[in-house]
Structure 1
Amino acid sequence: MTHAPLRICLIMHSTRSDNLGVGALTVSEVEILRDISRQIDTPIDITVMDWKDPRAPYVTGPDVTVRDLDGRVMVNPRGYFAVARQSDLVIDIGGGDSFADIYGSRRLNRMFLLKYLTHLAGTPLVMAPQTVGPFTRASSRFLAAASLKRCAVVASRDAMSTQAARDLGVTKVIEASDVALRLPYTPPAPRSGGPVKVGINVSGLLMGGGYTGRNEFGLTMDYPALIRDLIRHFQSHTDGCEVHLVPHVIVPSGRLSGEDDHRASAALAAEFPGTVLAPAFDTPSEAKSYIAGLDFFMGARMHACIAAFSSSVPVVPMAYSRKFAGLFGTLGYDRTVDCTTQGADDIKAAIFAGYDGRDALAAEAKTALTEGLRKLQVYEDALRDVLIAQRDKRKA
């Protein structure tokens, strides 16, 4: 029996974000939807409502349409609202961690507008696995709770987010994991001998002191000095380490160029001869494929760390928000260091110990990844059930 395509709209995803972590979520979400489409023998048409970033889309295919999204499209009845009404399902991934007060009211208010337009359109809304909260304002808590209670599926990606949703009065929460665990990549060719390849993801955002330069993330150490100490340590290591500086947010130009990891890494590569500057990757899968070829990794971009974690590379995540410990800790991987509570000496000691015991880290990560994929399957099963219900509803 031939079924008409199910029309799926993705919001707060991106096919062309300079932040390859956000892109990794979208690539992975589309892979999950394509798998489900094959399982239920029903074609899909995916529309991604995407911000107008200059990068070429890295999520493509005959089943994917990218539509530009801006403030005018959001408020125009023939814009997003019309797309939502024509869709069988809307999936919101919240940019991974944007469903919170910590990034400012403008971003959150845009998210609320998209959610409530979806509810008004009468289209089922799925909250894909993401960080929920923290919400510091009463108005945010009220609007978040009201929307979540109307969703067809609410999925968190860690235990802290599950509790945050329950604190809002949301009783049905799927505790999944990050969909980027499913990000496709090319495994490295086997190699023997040669230097130990140590990867450092340098956050351009943290090198510049945050969005404002005023340390709004509350780091308890001098982050640029910490990065330089790590480079010096591994460059002088008796193992003969080769240090790779690996960007994961790559902003060629424009108002957000201060967040660019590649620019920050290039400056450090010039300062420390012998380091290897990784390419300015075009796609999330390219970045993961590169990271998969390293022997040890650390970084302050969570999805760079997820790329290592999910490709069997021992990793020490360097957290600047609760999302790191929430995600990795929920899976039983407790190697995260916290740049908002720990001093530089403690962080360096943990990273150096992680490097020395990297075989143990790899084993721990393997066990935790198995748990993460198990939890993610619960979300995939729930999403499949919603799609089947929408397909059968159309036939009735």
Structure 2
Amino acid sequence: MVHNVAIASMTGARNRGCEALVRSIIDGIHTVIGRDAAKISLHSADAKYDRKIFGDDVAATYDAHPLSWPSPLRLKALQGPQIRMARLAEKTLLPSEKPGAISRRSLTALSDADIIVATGGDVFTGDYGPSNFRSHCHILHLGKPVFFMAQTMGPFAPAEEAYLRKHAGAIAMCTVRESDSLEYLQKIAPEIPVHQAADVAFLLPSIDADAARRILEVEHHFPIEGKKLVGVSVSAGIVGYRGAEGKVDYIGETAKFVNELNANGYAAILIPHVQNIAIEANDLFACTEVLRQLEHPERNLVLSLPLSASEFKGIVALCDVLVGARTHATIAALSQGVPAVAIGYSRKSFAIFRDYYGEDISKDLAIDVVDMTADKIGAAFAIAQDMPRTTDRAAEMKQRALTSFERLKTILEAA
């Protein structure tokens, strides 16, 4: 029997964290359920780009920007005729559809799925506002079981908590990636079946060390022999997410920290883990701004070529420490046992670090961007650089991440 699995809530693989999530979900389904036992469709806000990234690993990729979904009542009214039209169009010529919209083909594929797997990591939180949360929740109105996979959930305003409880019957399973979300959901919506797993990106494969060195030394002309490397994931949007504009000189403080690294014999690899079309959401511009403020920019490198999430992960493995303002850049480090420092804007970073390192150590390694200074990053880095690699803990988290796919398999086999 072939199971029809739809992956939804994908904003696009230009965000390498989103790529890491979807790549890991695809690989997990193939590994645990079987490549020939699952037909996977991907519903993305950046479908044309993602078709190139995931290729034949998915049966189809559809345009489905969450913010373009109609209201639940409108969706219910349109669902029947939209689906009939889309099925007819599959047999003829499908007219071009507006980019960035929920396409008729996407609606058809979601409605035909055996289960909808919601990815996104933190899209089902209150971090980006109630309208963003509800737009992603439209998958709960299609009459299909939904699996929230390895999510950070909440906290929500009371109205969103009530909304989630109202539609809990559509949620076949929710696995969360940290204990804060587990405790929160058990408190506000005990009717939702929830279990703690780990972020599925712990399972993301990495390129090997020789391939990573080639990217640095040959493709970027940056010899690393004898150098002590520190990965620095720079975020273009972190200050805006936390409402800290004008309060924190994020770029300036990051540059001061890198200057201190250079003074102590380290070279920084500046990592643009998100490269969206919009400049304000493109880390390559933020990395460049940091580089321009350095006293010795030639001692450091911006990874300026288009690299995959697995290639970034391989480069992180060459570093002594990773200082990350992007969650999945830090997970690239944690999943390989590389000591990491997190600069965060929401509880997801702090909760993931607490579950990985424990309460005492995580408090010293996770920094709220509102309170971020070069000195605070330096103090956290001093602790991280003296830590051994945590390969055993990384292996434990990978096993925990696999449990999401085991639960998915159980649901599909029981259907």
TM-score range, shorter chain: 0.7 to 0.9
Maintained 8 Å contact 1:99/1:111: yes
- The one-letter code of the counterpart of 2:30 is R
2:6 aligned with 1:9: yes
Residue 186 (structure 2) pairs with residue 166 (structure 1): yes
Counterpart of 1:233 (choices 257, 260, 281) is 260
Hey, what does 2:368 align to over in structure 1?
A: 339
Q: Which residue is equivalent to 1:43?
A: 37
Alignment of 1:177-196 (within 5 A): 177-189=198-210, 194-196=226-228
CA distance in 1, matches of 2:248, 2:159: 34
Contact 1:112 1:143 in 2 (8 A): no
Q: Which moved more, 1:311-320 or 1:51-60?
A: 51-60
2:109 match: 83
Q: CA offset at residue 349 of structure 1?
A: 1.1
**C-alpha deviation, 1:37, in angstroms:** 2.8
Deviations 1:276-315 (A, max 9, x none): 1113434222221222222221011010010111123221
Distance 1:220 1:158, change over 3 A: farther
Is the aligned partner of 1:321 residue 2:360? no
**CA offsets 1:186-212 (integer angstroms, 9 cap, x no match):** 121399951101111111113xx415x
Cα pair distance change 1:347/1:218, threshold 3 Å: farther
**2:97 counterpart residue number:** none
Gaps of 5+ in 1: 391-396
Structure with higher helix content: 2
The one of 145, 148, 154 equivalent to 1:133 is: 154
1:394 corresponding residue in structure 2: none
Mapped contact 2:153–2:181 kept (Cα < 8 A): yes
- Aligned runs of 1:221-300 on 2, under 5 Å? 221-237=248-264, 240-251=265-276, 253=277, 256-272=278-294, 273-274=297-298, 275-300=300-325
Q: Which runs of 4+ in 1 moved over 6 A?
A: none
Normalised TM-score (structure 2):
0.80
SS state at 2:55 partner = coil
| Matched ranges for 1:191-206 at <5 A | 194-206=226-238
The residue identity in structure 2 corresponding to 1:338 is I
- Find the aligned partners of 2:369 and 2:40 in 1 and give their Cα distance: 39
Q: 1:104-159: per-residue Cα shift (whole Å, max 9, x none)? A: 23211211222222xxx2x22111110000102x2211111233344211111111
Conservation of the 8 A alpha-carbon contact between 1:44 and 1:63 = no
Task: State the 1:81 CA deviation.
Answer: 4.3
Q: CA offsets, 1:338-385, max 9 Å, x none?
A: 225645233321222322x04x3x1xx323323312322322221111
Does 1:143 find its partner at 2:163?
Answer: yes
Asked whether the equivalents of residues 206 and 314 of structure 2 are also in contact (C-alpha less than 8 Å), the reply is: yes
How far is the alpha carbon of 1:42 from its aligned partner? Answer: 5.0
| Mapped contact 1:154–1:173 kept (Cα < 8 A) | yes
**Please, which moves more after superposition, 22-31 or 334-343?**
334-343
State how far apart, in whole Å, the 2-side matches of 1:366 and 1:348 are.
Answer: 24
Q: Is the Cα–Cα contact under 8 Å of residues 338 and 347 in structure 1 kept in the other structure?
A: yes
Q: Which runs of 5 or more residues in structure 2 are unaligned? A: 84-103, 214-223
Give a deviation string over 1:70-112, Cα, whole Å, max 9, x none.
Answer: 466654522354323311111112x110112220232112112
Partners of 2:262 and 2:126 lie apart in 1 by: 40
CA distance in 1, matches of 2:371, 2:243: 16
What SS does the corresponding residue of 2:4 show, helix, strand or coil?
strand
Query: How far apart are the structure 2 equivalents of 1:155 and 1:56?
Result: 25
TM-score with structure 1 length normalisation?
0.84
CA-based RMSD: 2.5
Matched residue of 2:292: which SS?
Answer: helix
Q: Is 1:21 matched up with 2:17?
A: yes
Q: Quote the Cα distance in structure 2 between the aligned partners of 1:342 and 1:220.
A: 9
**SS of 2:318's equivalent?**
coil
Identity %: 22
CA distance in 1, matches of 2:378, 2:301: 21
Q: Is the 8 A contact 2:7 2:118 kept in 1?
A: yes
Report the 3-state secondary structure (helix = DSSP H, G, I; strand = E; otherwise coil) of the residue aligned with 1:386.
Answer: helix
The one-letter amino acid of 1:178's match is: D
**In structure 2, the residue corresponding to 1:102 is in which secondary structure?**
coil
Distance in 2 of aligned mates of 1:62 and 1:302 = 25
The number of residues matched between the two structures is 363
Which residue in the other structure is 2:219 paired with?
none
Give the 3-state SS of the residue equivalent to 2:315 in structure 1: helix
The match for 1:351 among 364, 381, 400 is: 381
